[in-house]
Structure 1
């Protein structure tokens, strides 16, 4: 593949992906609603198929190495994005965001995530190109993140810390008690104030920042191509909005997902440290010489470990007692919500 064709392929790919995201954004803004299971499933299937088609194009245009790097990066980022959904669910519940407007909130979160990850990708690519020792830092950071995720006692402590930070940032903001549709500003007793939607957006933005810090070193451990890193992130975020509504109660059943992700992050952290030792230039390590006997973990092995870990974590979650208990709770919640919906419809009919 020539350099000219490579640049052309990258340009066309980014333009097409940008147009798809723009269409998705306009669709949400023009038609705010809670998508049905069928609609959400069709959109998720479309985006996954699109990612697989793009992977095929990568194999065809750039060869198997780049194709495998894209697939490994996409699967890793998609898994981390699903983990991000858990936090989105908590945020939506905490602020009692109406279901009708949750699509807009999720779309905002996706756009902010893309912007932040784009910035981190550019910074990461520049640093990696000029300082090989940064792989030590990336590897150590991922190992620490993996340990923190595996030993996290629960979400209450994290929620408390996050709530405290948001409270400090928004302490002087006049915020109304109730939402006013999807508006950011409203009028209460003749005064212009912000709606709780602003608080939701700020919280989502802070969450995106934290996840961008985690995800970018992870994918740079699988590929050093900024194009692959960026496109893998785009495809991982595509359809995330619809996946939120499609999974529903299934999210609560993936009780071992965070443990699976901690294994993946730890594996990539080790891979990065091995690579850092292999290209070592630090004078206080082996006299500044490369350590050639350190093995380089192949993309094929990385892809196998990532896919295998996700499959094992998913199956173990669904078959575990905790996962089955979560399924029962989700069904009870769904039945209760359906009953409340019927009651509201009956009340509307009686009013008429």
Structure 2
């Protein structure tokens, strides 16, 4: 589907480069670099974060020179930055889940690896379905716009502390009912065999919960990037590059998330702006992509700066032993 939407060798080359980068990372990361469970240091997280930002910028440059020029490149960077910013809330929820289940830090890497792998697959499905629907019913874009404005207003007004309640999660209840779940972590394993029977560990439940929350966050992020671009290649690659750097960003920001408390307010303005930009097309008002990119970057940077200038006391996350 994605390749069919492009013509010419340049676009196919770009998609091939993208596929090689992602596949190579997955193979090297799981098969060579992290064979054994270990805690990821802040230094490693910073290096990996810089690496993925660098790779994403280079790929955006390739889109500029070999793809659709400045328009597609700016759309790529706008979608990438938006998804990256929206990932901050995702990181906070993942941290809550890991602490709720009292998961050891040396197991974080493998859990996030498989979580990201699932996100790559599900985001492809979401983007494919979104493109299919928009191709048949263009007016769905306006519904997306209204939904983004609603989400932005809701996020801006929501000052309640984020909580998770896995025991009330319908999907977790179903998994526990259908699958034999052990109470033992088994050294970081997700599944194991005992006396000829397949068992699932609590870490498997954690992965299921993280995947389900990512799908919930995708409900906001996918319409947001469709509001920025309708180019499926730009949407998918920017989305996946942002997700690939999510794990490193998690380890980098896990202990300092509370410092950037105004970022959520900034995200609300970004969502409202993107939704309004989409609805503005109803009256034939088109906002140039470079203005959209500037607004998104400006609001996010301002949110971070104001968070540092006017700090608040960090809230303690409650750990629950299960």
TM-score scaled by length of structure 1: 0.81
SS in 2 for 1:267: helix
Alignment partner of 1:13 is 2:18? yes
Alignment partner of 1:204 is 2:194? no
| Counterpart pick for 1:43 among 48, 62, 79 | 48
Deviation at 1:43, TM superposition (A): 1.2
Question: Distance between the aligned counterparts of 1:13 and 1:188, measured in 2?
Answer: 41
- 1:318 paired residue number: 308
Deviation at 1:86, TM superposition (A): 0.5
| Counterpart pick for 2:145 among 139, 143, 152 | 139
| Counterpart pick for 2:289 among 278, 286, 299 | 299
Deviation at 1:3, TM superposition (A): 2.3
1:197-346 matches, cutoff 5 A = 197-275=203-281, 277=282, 291=283, 294-322=284-312, 325-326=313-314
Larger Rg: 1
Question: Distance between the aligned counterparts of 2:259 and 2:32, measured in 1?
Answer: 30
Question: Distance between the aligned counterparts of 2:172 and 2:138, measured in 1?
Answer: 39
Summarize the Cα distance change of 1:134–1:197 in structure 2 as closer, same or farther, 3 Å threshold: same
- 1:75 paired residue number: 81
Summarize the Cα distance change of 1:151–1:162 in structure 2 as closer, same or farther, 3 Å threshold: farther
Aligned residue-pair number: 310
SS in 2 for 1:44: helix
| Counterpart pick for 2:173 among 168, 171, 179 | 168
| Counterpart pick for 2:188 among 182, 190, 199 | 182
Summarize the Cα distance change of 1:190–1:114 in structure 2 as closer, same or farther, 3 Å threshold: closer
| Counterpart pick for 2:134 among 128, 136, 155 | 128
| Counterpart pick for 1:60 among 65, 71, 93 | 65
Q: Deviations over 1:253-277 (max 9, x none)?
A: 11111111111111111111123x1
Question: Distance between the aligned counterparts of 2:227 and 2:167, measured in 1?
Answer: 28
Deviation at 1:239, TM superposition (A): 2.4
Question: Distance between the aligned counterparts of 2:268 and 2:143, measured in 1?
Answer: 17
Deviation at 1:225, TM superposition (A): 0.7
Contact 2:266 2:300 survives alignment (8 Å): yes
Deviating 4+ runs (over 6 angstroms): 187-192
Q: Greater CA deviation, 50-59 or 23-32?
A: 23-32
Unaligned runs of 5+ in 1: 278-290, 331-352
- 1:336 paired residue number: none
1:148-167 matches, cutoff 5 A = 148-156=154-162, 158-160=163-165, 163-167=168-172
Unaligned runs of 5+ in 2: 1-5, 318-322
Q: Deviations over 1:30-52 (max 9, x none)?
A: 13211222221111111111111
Question: Distance between the aligned counterparts of 1:26 and 1:81, measured in 2?
Answer: 26
Question: Distance between the aligned counterparts of 1:267 and 1:305, measured in 2?
Answer: 9
- 1:282 paired residue number: none
Summarize the Cα distance change of 1:190–1:319 in structure 2 as closer, same or farther, 3 Å threshold: farther
Deviation at 1:190, TM superposition (A): 11
Deviation at 1:64, TM superposition (A): 0.8
Q: Deviations over 1:235-261 (max 9, x none)?
A: 101222122122232112111111111
Question: Distance between the aligned counterparts of 2:161 and 2:32, measured in 1?
Answer: 33
SS in 2 for 1:183: coil
TM-score scaled by length of structure 2: 0.88
Contact 2:91 2:250 survives alignment (8 Å): yes
Q: Greater CA deviation, 11-20 or 183-192?
A: 183-192
User: What RMSD, in angstroms, separates the aligned Cα atoms of the two structures?
Assistant: 2.5
Deviation at 1:170, TM superposition (A): 3.5
Question: Distance between the aligned counterparts of 1:131 and 1:192, measured in 2?
Answer: 45
Alignment partner of 1:109 is 2:115? yes
